[in-house]
């Protein structure tokens, strides 16, 4: 055997040993910086939050280990349970509105008509704006005396509304802003689903005499269900942790009528300086988000379709 063949055999054996033993040593210089960043940005903050959640610490006072006291306090905190209900209500409305309107917009923009691309671009502009700018503009629009929304309502004979200044209407008003901003995202997701649908089922349905509603109900809707679930997952996770628009527009008011868990957590930790209790709230909120994500992913897995199912 020639020397070249011997060297090639040695190189092959070395690569095989490297694969069987894991990463080669010379890869570690590239891996370690990423591990350090992950530990510094993700692992350490959560370990520190967990530690603080079992301590009693108000800023400016001595820190003391309190065990499960912060979590037991959450169980009897009516303001926490109210904020949880506000979060659930806000999330449900902020998902249903964009889901319905985004699907309707996708069906409209999927059709062929003049200036379709231009109008699509106009339609997606709201989700490109910064949340604080959106909050400031909509706050002016919601003004009971000077806002443009009440002026428009007056043109059709409807009296002025209090919008975000009334405890009963503040959450629906905030959801209106959320729907305006994120309906385009659902539209883009559903448009991608519509573009991926097979044409054969529709041709068969037309031969059988199906009308537009029947084709949508029995063909389009079941086949775009996976894409709708993607939209539901993204919107649910985003809405349940919404903070910027709510805080910029109402700070959780009037009173505590729009105080979600995020707002209550922020006020507890950074307005009342109760760091330990705020940390416990953050841990519970994280568990809620993980549980919600797990449930949504399980539902998403049940909505898959294949070409064989549509024939």
Q: Mean pLDDT across the chain, nearest whole number?
A: 86
- Does the residue 134 lie in any domain? yes
- Does the residue 245 lie in any domain? yes
What is the pLDDT, as a whole number, of residue 205? Answer: 87
- Does the residue 59 lie in any domain? no
Q: How far is C-alpha 102 from the geometric centre of its chain's CA atoms?
A: 15
- Does the residue 213 lie in any domain? yes
What is the pLDDT, as a whole number, of residue 27? Answer: 74
7 φ, ψ to 5°? -65, -40
- Does the residue 68 lie in any domain? no
- Does the residue 293 lie in any domain? no
With bands split at pLDDT 50, 70 and 90, how would you rate the model's confidence at 46? confident
- Would you say residue 21 has pLDDT above 60? no
Name the CA dihedral angle for 78, 279, 88, 178, rounded to a multiple of 10 degrees.
130
Which residue range(s) make up the domain with 235?
87-257
What is the pLDDT, as a whole number, of residue 288? Answer: 87
- Would you say residue 18 has pLDDT above 70? no
Domain count within the chain: 1
- Does the residue 310 lie in any domain? no
Q: For residues 74 and 72, give the distance between their C-alpha atoms in angstroms, rounded to a whole number.
A: 5
Q: For residues 86 and 108, give the distance between their C-alpha atoms in angstroms, rounded to a whole number.
A: 33
Tens digits of residue pLDDT in 139-193: 999 998 889 999 999 999 888 999 999 999 999 999 999 999 999 999 999 999 8
Tens digits of residue pLDDT in 55-70: 988 877 888 888 899 9
Rg of the chain over Cα atoms, rounded to whole angstroms, equals 27
- Would you say residue 3 has pLDDT above 80? no
- Does the residue 121 lie in any domain? yes
Q: For residues 254 and 43, give the distance between their C-alpha atoms in angstroms, rounded to a whole number.
A: 37
| CATH assignment at residue 113 | 1.10.3720.10
What is the pLDDT, as a whole number, of residue 7? Answer: 59
């Amino acid at each position: 055997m020639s020397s070249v063949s011997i060297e090639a055999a040695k190189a092959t054996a070395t690569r095989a040993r490297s694969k069987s033993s894991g990463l080669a040593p010379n890869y570690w210089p590239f891996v370690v910086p990423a591990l350090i960043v992950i530990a510094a940005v993700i692992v350490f903050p959560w370990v520190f939050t967990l530690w603080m959640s079992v301590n009693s610490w108000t800023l400016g006072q001595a820190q003391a280990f309190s065990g499960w006291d912060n979590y037991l306090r959450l169980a009897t905190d009516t303001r926490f349970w109210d904020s949880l209900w506000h979060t659930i209500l806000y999330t449900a409305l902020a998902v249903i509105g964009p889901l319905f309107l985004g699907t309707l917009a996708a069906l409209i923009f999927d059709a062929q008509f003049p200036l379709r691309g231009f109008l699509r671009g106009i339609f997606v502009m709201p989700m490109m704006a910064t949340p604080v700018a959106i909050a400031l503009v909509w706050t002016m629009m919601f003004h009971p005396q000077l806002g443009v929304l009440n002026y428009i309502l007056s043109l059709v004979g409807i009296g002025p509304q209090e919008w975000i200044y009334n405890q009963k209407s503040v959450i629906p008003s905030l959801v209106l802003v959320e729907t305006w901003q994120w309906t385009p995202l659902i539209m883009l997701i559903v448009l991608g689903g519509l573009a991926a649908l097979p044409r054969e089922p529709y041709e068969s349905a037309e031969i059988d005499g199906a009308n537009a509603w029947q084709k949508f109900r029995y063909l389009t809707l079941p086949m775009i269900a996976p894409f709708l679930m993607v939209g539901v997952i993204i919107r649910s996770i985003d809405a349940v942790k919404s903070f910027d628009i709510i805080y910029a527009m109402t700070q959780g008011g009037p009173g505590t009528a729009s105080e979600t868990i995020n707002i209550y957590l922020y006020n507890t930790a950074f307005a009342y300086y109760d760091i330990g209790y705020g940390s416990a709230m953050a841990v519970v909120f994280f568990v809620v988000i993980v549980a919600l994500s797990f449930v949504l992913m399980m539902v998403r897995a049940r909505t898959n379709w294949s070409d064989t199912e549509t024939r």
